[in-house]
Structure 1
Amino acid sequence: MEKVILITGTSSGFGYQMAEKIARSGHQVVATMRDVTGKNIEPAQDLSKLENVTVLDMDVSDSESVKTAVAEVLERFKKVDVVINNAGIQGSGLLEGYSIEQFHKFMDVNLYGVLRVYNELLPSMRKAKDGLIINISSYAGRISPPFQIPYNASKFAIEAATEGGYTELIVHGIETVMIEPGPFLTEMYSKQGVDADKAEIEGKYGEDTAIIMSGYGVKLGGALQKYQPQPSDIADAALALIEMKKGTRPIRTTVDPIAQGLDAEYNKLTEPLKRKLNAQYFS
């Protein structure tokens, strides 16, 4: 059955790949991105040419933009069956090198952006007693690699919202699940991100830290070259979740060739313990 699927952050990378693949599978896709008549005019036009794709301007860091776009979608299609919260920003640097304003920027896009979409779409989903929310988390929402801690924190928050939200929303027929990608060579890394802006801090940390930072980047780059993770794998995972029956979807889906299965093993080992711990408080 054709579903109406809203995807955020579709100008490139995971979002573009998901919009394209899901539309070609026969679903109606609403592909949202910022600045569709400006810097993102090319991907907006390319996606608009596809059958079953409607492109809308939406900035997840702007509450009015989200409200306007979602209202337009509901007016046109009368419902949204699935939302994929994909829009996000990346960045690197020492934690001490980040200002509070920069840290807030990560949260404003990667977390609050998701919550803005929640606030506009959940009322219609609750009324329909049906819906699926797929949040794009990260391996960095389960472990915390150095030199990107604000990004990690935003993804840990997505993990919390998705996991806790599952129990809150499933009684209303709404499932919240997430995909946990590992590192990928997507455009998010090449676009302007939010890097630590206190350059003097890095100097004060000295040569030892500089060597560690450089080595970390070299090792990650080598792993990316070795395993060649493909953004299309995320699109495959999203489509698979969409097509599963309600009640059979896992809360976490890992997509990380570099991890060689350790990410899935980590989730498998920790989930039973988490359920037992939750039961101590809430059963």
Structure 2
Amino acid sequence: MSKTVFITGTSTGFGKLATITLSKAGHTVIAAMRGVTGKNAAVAKELSALPNVDVVEMEVTSDSSVQEAVQQSLRKHGKIDVLVNNAAMAGYGPLEAYSLDQVRSMLDVNLFGVLRTYQAVLPSMRANGNGLIINITTGASGFTLPFMVPYLISKFGVETITEGGHGELQRFGIETVSIQPGVYPTEMNTGVKTGIHADRQDIFAAYGEETAQAMQSVGATFGQRMAEFKPDPQMIADGILALVNMAKGTRPLRYPLDIIAEGTDKDFIDARAALKEKWLAKYFKLA
């Protein structure tokens, strides 16, 4: 059955691929991006030419922009069956070398952007007694790594939204899932897309050459792994399609799609779920 799917961050990467993939599969796609008449005019025109694709202007850091894009879509299409929160920015650097304003910028896109779309879309989903929210997080969303702390703070937060929302929204017929991708050669990881990086250059300099080399080593390792495993970003678009097409009630809470992890991502998810069950049993066991 065809669904109406609202996707954020569709000008590049996973979002663009998902728009194309879902359109080919017969779904109606609302492709949200910023700059549809400016810097992203070409891709907006490209996606608008696809069957059943409606490109809308939306800036995820603006409350009014998100609300207007969602309300415009509801007026035109009558409903939103699926929300895919894909828009995000990456960033690197020692935590101390991030100004608080720079951390806020990261959270405003990656975390508060998700909260804005939730608050805009959920009233209509609750009224319809049906909905699916897919959040794109990261394979490292259950642990942290050096030089990526603000980015991972934001992704930990989205995992919290997904898991907590799963319990809060079930009774309204709404499901939440996080897709946990590993490292893929998208614009976010190839340097084409500007990131939100550490901006306190004096602090960065004080950490010395050893830290700079360690950062380069992390980046080089990601590059080597991508060269070795050749992960295809289409896997994420196909994963989104698979979740959209799954029967209600059969979707997992977390959906790892990371060939580089070689199954350790699923092991981690399973172990965490098992530990949570033990914890819940201690706090909420029946008398």
Fold match (TM-score > 0.5): yes
From 232, 236, 239, the equivalent of 2:238 is 236
List aligned pairs for 1:248-267, cutoff 5 A: 248-267=250-269
Counterpart in 1 of 2:95? Answer: 95
Counterpart in 2 of 1:109? Answer: 109
Shift of 1:239: 0.6
In structure 2, what residue type is equivalent to 1:274?
Answer: K
Shift of 1:279: 3.3
Distance in 1, matches of 2:50 and 2:148, equals 36
Counterpart in 2 of 1:185? Answer: 185
Distance in 2, matches of 1:279 and 1:34, equals 46
SS of the aligned residue for 1:171 comes to helix
SS of the aligned residue for 1:141 comes to coil
Percent identity reads 47
Q: Give every structure 1 segment of 4 or more consecutive aligned residues whose post-TM-superposition deviation is greater than 3 Å.
A: none
Number of matched pairs: 283
SS of the aligned residue for 1:246 comes to coil
List aligned pairs for 1:6-155, cutoff 5 A: 6-155=6-155
**Gap runs ≥5 in structure 2:** none
Q: Deviations over 1:151-170 (max 9, x none)?
A: 00000000001001100000
Distance in 2, matches of 1:119 and 1:214, equals 39
Give the TM-score, by structure 2 length: 0.96
SS of the aligned residue for 1:43 comes to helix
Shift of 1:280: 2.6
In structure 1, what residue type is equivalent to 2:203?
Answer: I
Give the TM-score, by structure 1 length: 0.97
In structure 2, what residue type is equivalent to 1:146?
Answer: P
Shift of 1:276: 2.1
Distance in 2, matches of 1:237 and 1:207, equals 40
Distance in 2, matches of 1:186 and 1:268, equals 28
Distance in 2, matches of 1:197 and 1:214, equals 17
In structure 2, what residue type is equivalent to 1:265?
Answer: D
Shift of 1:21: 0.1
Distance in 2, matches of 1:278 and 1:255, equals 27
Q: Indicate yes or no: 2:175 matched with 1:172.
A: no
**Gap runs ≥5 in structure 1:** none
RMSD of aligned alpha carbons? 1.1
